[in-house]
Structure 1
Amino acid sequence: MVPLTLSFTALALSASLSRAAILSVIIPTIFLLTYRYKKEILCFYKNLKWTAKNIALFALCICLLSISAIATLYLKKESADGRVLIWKIGKNILHENRLFGIGFGQFKSRYMNYQAEYFKNNFYANEIRLADDTNYAFNEYLQATVENGFIGLLLMLSILLTVLFARTKKRNDFRHVMLKLNFMSNETSLPTLARAGILCIAIFSLFSYPSQILPIKTNLVLFLATIAKSRQLEKAVSTNIPKRVLEKKSFSLGISAFIALLVLASFATFKIHFYQTRFQLWKEAQHLYSYEVYANSIVKYAEAYPGLKHNGDFLTNYGKALFMAGRHEEALEILKEAENLFPNTVSCIAKGDSYKHLGKYPEAEQAYFDAFYMKPNRLYPKYLLVKLYQHWNKPEAAKSLAEDIMNMDIKVPSKATLEIRSQMEKYLRDNQTLKLR
């Protein structure tokens, strides 16, 4: 059964082409093998003779590992470059408050504004292609530092290192307690496996966002509980607490924990039902929106608003629906709330459209430019600016931007981009603009 499981795991990893996942499996596996065969490894090392043959073999292994690392780096290179761009901009956010950070959970509410500012000042073609709407730093340590400062990072690393290097003593009486409580058959196997699991998550955190994925968070809690339980039992044995006292103490703690869990479960059930209802309303509102039944869609959004008013994605959808229904003043209010939680190109473009319909052309221009600098590889914001300048009676600005659109590299060719190019080409031809480059 184990070889079959390992085979399927290897197939899944190879199919995913996820370098972070592969690395986060290989290193904990080496850790477990080293722990399991540490006596044999030490014996081999002591008896190893550094002959020319062994040195050549060692050098060959190093070369193969280096080639594999370089090949892995160039696998999905654009994805790796995109992460480097996010880390570079994340470092700029950190400069705002290095000691305490910008606030827990605030990365999503700040990042896109900093990305727009970065591209205003650093318009490099190789980085422009990588820009996209971003929610996470793709590095938990960087995101923790940005949100909680270096103090938060030190606290996080202290907990991680304490858990990873906490040792469980091998004692016969400790093993007896473990077996008696049916906790595990070997006194060190489960804590060691739990540490390997935490190490896996810690490595994956360097390149992704596991703290945002519920199954991974659940496993992390399980791993921490396993280590904490083993340490608790070791402490109980080391202080020579009589079995009767230990059982009585465990019973009291169990009753207290049961009551606490009962209260927590009741509260959680109420909150889950509350949010489940609001998310269902959101789903219904989106369904109506997709069928262009905007008035009914807005009613559903309004019902869901009290429970989801701190959700940037929900507010963006709500503001867009209000715009489509022609309720521009209300749309702007909701979209401004959305931008405080999750600034993105969709909310900026919707803001610009509402300002344009209200005749507030300078505000619309600013909103469209914000959307463009957030993702400067997209044609649509500049296309909307051309249309705005036509209404605003600014033909020279419209012509200049139309020419820029014709010379932009297209990140993702589509029917929409071809149509935009076609319209801009016709506009330039009809208005006898500068020759296209």
Structure 2
Amino acid sequence: MKERMYCINTTSWISLRFVVSLVVFIGVMSLLGVVLVSPDYFDTGEMSYQKMWLSRMAVVFAICSLFSLSINDRKRDRFYSSVVWSLILLGGVEAIWGLGQIYGQVGSHHSLFALTGSFYNPGPYSGYLAMVFPVCLGEWLLLKDKANREWIEQGKYYVSLGVILLIICVLPAGMSRSAWLATVVSGLWVYGAHYSWGTRLRKIVKKYKKRVFLVAVIGGVVVSASGYALFFLKADSANGRLLMWKVTSVAIAEKPLMGYGSNGFTYAYGRAQEKYFANANYSETEELVAGSPEYAFNEYLQVAVEQGIPFLLVVLFVISFGLWKGVTEKRFSICGGVISVLIFACFSYPMQIPGFAVAFYFLLAACIVGRSRFYMLLFTVMITLWGTFYWNHNWYDACKRWSSCKMLYKIGAYQAAKEGYESLYSELNSNGAFLFEYGHCLHKLKDYESSTKILEEAIVYCNDPMVLNIIGKNYQAEGEYGKAEGWLIRSTHRLPNRIYPYYLLAKLYAEPGYRQLEKLKSIAEIVLTKEPKVQSTAVKEMREEVKKLVVSLNNNEENSN
């Protein structure tokens, strides 16, 4: 009788443990699975649907997490296993999704790229696969070394191996050098940590010092040559990143302690690039590759710009603590994923994508939490607060209405579009793209004063020089030529490879009330001789119009003499 009762209790306990493990997995998967949710950009470039999904799923995760914490079982690291296998399964889905796009069976989310997975472009998609790769590799190595695998372990062995092979097939097609680098470095680290390469290398160095030095020199040459080849694989892109980092560093130097605040990067970068090119101490290559980026393409610089260097140091300390904890507990798979993201974050913007950011937070938490109920509770509270923020600051419904207004704006129904923009202003008044459209719509309706007011707000959230151009045109239309000139000159400094602001200046200098022939001739020469970033019909038309202006004014001057 006692034996029967013992068997029943044991079976019940095993069933309860299985239920708890399943609940934790559901909670983790509900949040990490947001990466599969369609970006739902509408026509507005927003990821509001992912943010809305995160806010709802944060509640699911909190409930699942609190339920698991109510069961006192320290024998299993459920959270770690759930994060690992959620990412492996999601990575497999993403890789299959990418293969379908390569073979034309699945549509991409960007008109210019065939391969995007569930993301908007190949860069973050490749970075996500690079993050999953070391996680798969670490788990596969652990299972590979097991002599007698149970049936479920055998299944995990083949699943992890299959995902590794799928990622290897898809990743080269993404053409993301940063993702390749992250994959190679993190993969080597996981493999080396698993087989204790550090200990072996120290023994080899002691025994074969001269040979090791020679191998190190050859390795250094190979790495340098590979870096050189990767740089020139897409040289313009690489030069563009270097310019972005240089300009971002200038912005950081102006406010190193407190930064410019959340979402302050675009304003800080726009002003810094304006000052940089205004000094005229730049190369032709820098002028050619300059753009109006939304992100720094380096998460460390982005954090320093927005929150200041002290905050960046705190963030790096937390990440370092997480890695130290993970390595100490020999959670090499998860640590490999963190390392991959840290490398990828040097060249891209993974933390600006909700689905990618939440995956990194869970990786870091899996390094730290372990079987600690306190750390798990703390992480649950943090995720709940994050979800609450997105719940209270979600633009999904507003973006759907904005998409309708945008259609009216595109077809020239500006009065109808204006009414829609007015109703949305209170919700989207911190969105640079929305404010630009609203301001430009008012410009088209010749409400120049209101247009200027809205566009001056847009400058804080948008570094596109078109904002400056429209403000200049507003002032010109109102007869305030001096102010118009100032704004248009700022536009030429912000992005000197664009011909349009020079063309607008030429028209300004030809205005009867502000006629300045010498300045017109100087600007006209720039318009006629400057090599545009992209040749187009619009450039040809602007040049023809400027030629006519110069000829007309010269004829008028000769006749007056």
Relative to the length of structure 2, the TM-score reads 0.64
Tell me what 1:210 maps to.
350
* Contact in 2 for aligned 1:281/1:303 (Cα 8 Å): no
CA–CA separation in structure 2 for the residues paired with 1:168 and 1:54:
26
Picking from 258, 262, 273, the partner of 1:115 is 273
What letter matches 2:541 in structure 1? E
Q: 1:427 to 1:223 in 2, by over 3 A?
A: same
Picking from 347, 350, 360, the partner of 1:220 is 360
CA–CA separation in structure 2 for the residues paired with 1:169 and 1:56:
32
Q: Residues 162-311 of structure 1: matches in 2 within 5 Å?
A: 162-167=321-326, 188=330, 191-230=331-370, 232=372, 272=394, 275-311=395-431
Tell me what 1:412 maps to.
534
What letter matches 1:68 in structure 2? S
Q: Residues 35-434 of structure 1: matches in 2 within 5 Å?
A: 35-38=193-196, 42-43=199-200, 46=203, 50=208, 59-124=217-282, 125-167=284-326, 188=330, 191-230=331-370, 232=372, 272=394, 275-391=395-511, 392-430=514-552
CA–CA separation in structure 1 for the residues paired with 2:305 and 2:386:
31
CA–CA separation in structure 2 for the residues paired with 1:381 and 1:414:
16
Deviations 1:49-96 (CA, angstroms, capped at 9, x unpaired): 639887766544443222112111222122121122122222222222
What letter matches 1:367 in structure 2? W
CA–CA separation in structure 2 for the residues paired with 1:270 and 1:97:
30
Deviations 1:323-345 (CA, angstroms, capped at 9, x unpaired): 11111111111111111332421
Identity of aligned residues (%): 28
Deviations 1:279-336 (CA, angstroms, capped at 9, x unpaired): 1121111100111000000011111111111112211111011111111111111111
CA–CA separation in structure 1 for the residues paired with 2:201 and 2:498:
59
Q: 1:427 to 1:357 in 2, by over 3 A?
A: closer
* Structure 1 range deviating more: 370-379 or 16-25: 16-25
Q: CA deviation at 1:101?
A: 2.7
CA–CA separation in structure 2 for the residues paired with 1:407 and 1:265:
53
* Contact in 2 for aligned 1:112/1:374 (Cα 8 Å): yes
Q: 1:62 to 1:118 in 2, by over 3 A?
A: closer
What letter matches 1:410 in structure 2? P
Picking from 22, 28, 47, the partner of 2:180 is 22
* Contact in 1 for aligned 2:326/2:335 (Cα 8 Å): no
What letter matches 2:325 in structure 1? A
CA–CA separation in structure 1 for the residues paired with 2:327 and 2:533:
54
CA–CA separation in structure 2 for the residues paired with 1:350 and 1:143:
28
CA–CA separation in structure 1 for the residues paired with 2:193 and 2:481:
67
Q: Say which structure, 1 or 2, has more relative contact order (CA 8 Å, 6+ apart).
A: 2
CA–CA separation in structure 2 for the residues paired with 1:52 and 1:87:
39
What letter matches 1:345 in structure 2? P
* Contact in 2 for aligned 1:110/1:342 (Cα 8 Å): no
What letter matches 1:333 in structure 2? K
Deviations 1:325-382 (CA, angstroms, capped at 9, x unpaired): 1111111111111113324212111111111111111111111111111110111001
Q: 1:54 to 1:371 in 2, by over 3 A?
A: closer
* Contact in 2 for aligned 1:403/1:428 (Cα 8 Å): no
Q: CA deviation at 1:11?
A: 4.0
What letter matches 2:255 in structure 1? N
Q: CA deviation at 1:44?
A: 7.0
CA–CA separation in structure 2 for the residues paired with 1:228 and 1:129:
45
Tell me what 1:243 maps to.
none
Matched residue SS, 1:341: coil
* Contact in 1 for aligned 2:268/2:305 (Cα 8 Å): no
* Contact in 2 for aligned 1:281/1:301 (Cα 8 Å): no
* Structure 1 range deviating more: 94-103 or 46-55: 46-55
What letter matches 1:135 in structure 2? E
Q: 1:159 to 1:54 in 2, by over 3 A?
A: closer
* Structure 1 range deviating more: 5-14 or 382-391: 5-14
* Contact in 1 for aligned 2:244/2:296 (Cα 8 Å): yes
Q: 1:310 to 1:55 in 2, by over 3 A?
A: closer
CA–CA separation in structure 2 for the residues paired with 1:309 and 1:158:
35
Matched residue SS, 1:340: coil
Relative to the length of structure 1, the TM-score reads 0.81
* Contact in 2 for aligned 1:322/1:328 (Cα 8 Å): yes
Deviations 1:228-268 (CA, angstroms, capped at 9, x unpaired): 331516x99xxxxxxxxxxxxx9xx79xx79x96x997886
RMSD: 3.0
Q: CA deviation at 1:222?
A: 1.5
Tell me what 1:241 maps to.
none
What letter matches 2:367 in structure 1? I
* Contact in 1 for aligned 2:264/2:460 (Cα 8 Å): no
Q: Which sections of structure 1, spanning at least 5 residues, go unmatched?
A: 171-187, 237-249
* Structure 1 range deviating more: 398-407 or 318-327: 398-407
